[in-house]
Amino acid sequence: MADVALPSGGLKGQAIEEGFELAGVCPAVEPPHLDAYLAWLALERHGKMTYMSRSRRQRSGPQSLLPGAKSILAVGLNYNQEPPNPPNDPNERRGRVSRYAVGRDYHKVMRGKLKRIARWAEREYAGLKSRPCVDSAPILERDFAWLAGLGWYGKNTCLINTKRGSWFFIGLLLLDREFEPDEPAVGDCGTCTKCIDACPTGALVYEEGNRVAVLDSNLCISYLTIEHPGALTAKQQRLLNGWVFGCDVCQDVCPFNRPRPHQPLRAAPTREPDFAPRPANVMPRLTWLAGLGDEQFVDAYRGSALMRAGPERMRRNALGLLRQSPR
Ligand code: SF4
Ligand code: SF4
């Protein structure tokens, strides 16, 4: 007798209880947009993120991460908030930090929630095995979140949920049981090109006929400030546009991230207390940041997503901004 898919309502209900706003289930198949991803790698649009090309085989199937994986629970957690204004000290130059990084490191927050869902599933289904993934394992998380119905691809390359917008983190829980899947998300940007027009560096490459734009990481401020190793050239420093960690421009301008009377959930503020802004993360003073020693940096940013860039890159970014004329 063929296996019958288990109902997925309980799993998704646990996700909502954990505080995720979005939850859906998809089969653990080859990622549907794998070819586009491989073409992106072939054009070297991943910059110097060599781990992406090294792990291309693993990214072709979730079974490389969880043997026997059959289903994936995809979840979304709203991180949207307007960071508070920095102190009013006009003579101090400050660097902008992407809004996803002003509070506690999302990896830790999401992983804790996914682990609790995993423990629930293990109690509910004897012998079930699972593996949480939050932006650190070699898996195309966004593609599975699309397949599970969380959102569709916008031209800014983010997943957009029609009701909520795109200010949400994605996490996955791989499962070795088959659960009833949801439908892939449906939607598109129509004729809008606001994000492409607003990107200060031209990092979003859009060719008519393609529904999805392509991100050239080599030009993206988010990549340059967080992932790019070594020194920044003078040209790269000029691209930073006041950002010292990440960049929000292409999401900020998106109409799906603007509240509307008939779409009250769009751009709603996060309900997650761990994402409350930390003073050191909100537009830090550039001279202070540029002068931080490694230990001082860790003291200031322990448990925050800025640890991903680390002290050397953050000093480099701050110095790069200080070399530009104030904006
Ligand atoms: S994050 Fe900033 S630099 Fe990167 S594509 Fe979006 S707007 Fe452009
Ligand atoms: S700004 Fe416009 S084109 Fe860009 S993702 Fe949003 S809706 Fe799509």
Q: Which of 153, 166, 195, 257 to mutate to test the pocket of ligand 2 (most atoms within 8 A of CB)?
A: 195
Last residue of a domain, one of 124, 146, 175: 175
| Spatial distance between the Cα atoms of 249 and 316, rounded to a whole number of angstroms | 22
Question: Is residue 183, in this structure, part of any structural domain at all?
Answer: no
Q: Whose CA is nearest to atom 2 of ligand 1?
A: 247
Question: Is residue 120, in this structure, part of any structural domain at all?
Answer: yes
The answer to whether residues 243 and 98 touch, using CB atoms and an 8 Å cutoff, is yes
Q: How many domains does the chain have?
A: 2
Q: CA-based angle 61:65:69, to the nearest 5?
A: 70
Does ligand 1 come within 6 angstroms of the Cβ of 166? Answer: no
Q: Are residues 305 and 272 in the same domain?
A: yes
Q: Are residues 252 and 113 in the same domain?
A: no
Q: Are residues 157 and 28 in the same domain?
A: yes
- Integer-rounded Cα Rg, in Å, for the chain is 20
Q: What is the predicted pLDDT for the residue at 212?
A: 66
Q: Are residues 168 and 316 in the same domain?
A: no
Q: Are residues 125 and 24 in the same domain?
A: yes
Domain range for 315 is: 194-322
Question: Is residue 260, in this structure, part of any structural domain at all?
Answer: yes
Q: Which of 97, 156, 226 to mutate to test the pocket of ligand 1 (most atoms within 8 A of CB)?
A: 156
Question: Is residue 92, in this structure, part of any structural domain at all?
Answer: no
89, 135, 182, 188: which is the annotated catalytic residue? 135
Q: Are residues 159 and 274 in the same domain?
A: no
**Residue 172 phi, psi (nearest 5):** -130, 150
Q: What is the predicted pLDDT for the residue at 36?
A: 86
Query: Mean pLDDT per 10-residue run, the chain (327 residues)?
Result: 82 98 97 89 86 75 94 98 77 93 95 98 96 91 97 96 97 98 96 95 81 85 96 95 96 94 89 95 95 97 96 98 83
DSSP state letter for 260:
B
Last residue of a domain, one of 126, 148, 175: 175
Q: How far is the CA of 314 from the centre of ligand 1 (A)?
A: 18
Ligand 2 lining (C-beta closer than 6 Å) = 154-156, 189, 192-195, 253-256
Question: Is residue 91, in this structure, part of any structural domain at all?
Answer: no
For residue 86, how many C-alpha atoms fall within 13 Å in the half-sphere facing its CB?
A: 17
Quick one: which ligand is closest to 253's CA? 2
Q: What is the predicted pLDDT for the residue at 1?
A: 43
Task: Look at the block and give the residue holding tokens 């204004």.
Answer: 85
Q: Are residues 15 and 161 in the same domain?
A: yes
Verify whether residue 135 is a known catalytic residue.
Answer: yes
Q: Are residues 17 and 110 in the same domain?
A: yes
Q: Are residues 26 and 114 in the same domain?
A: yes
| Spatial distance between the Cα atoms of 162 and 195, rounded to a whole number of angstroms | 16
| Spatial distance between the Cα atoms of 246 and 231, rounded to a whole number of angstroms | 17
3-state secondary structure of 18: coil
Q: Are residues 246 and 150 in the same domain?
A: no
| Spatial distance between the Cα atoms of 105 and 169, rounded to a whole number of angstroms | 11
Q: Are residues 15 and 113 in the same domain?
A: yes
DSSP state letter for 276:
S
3-state secondary structure of 196: helix
Question: Is residue 181, in this structure, part of any structural domain at all?
Answer: no
Q: What is the predicted pLDDT for the residue at 326?
A: 72
Q: How far is the CA of 213 from the centre of ligand 2 (A)?
A: 10
Question: Is residue 1, in this structure, part of any structural domain at all?
Answer: no
Does ligand 1 come within 6 angstroms of the Cβ of 226? Answer: no
Q: How far is the CA of 165 from the centre of ligand 2 (A)?
A: 10
DSSP state letter for 105:
-
Q: Can you name the residues that pair with 185 across neighbouring β-strands?
A: none
Q: What is the predicted pLDDT for the residue at 292?
A: 97
Question: Is residue 185, in this structure, part of any structural domain at all?
Answer: no
Q: Are residues 255 and 122 in the same domain?
A: no
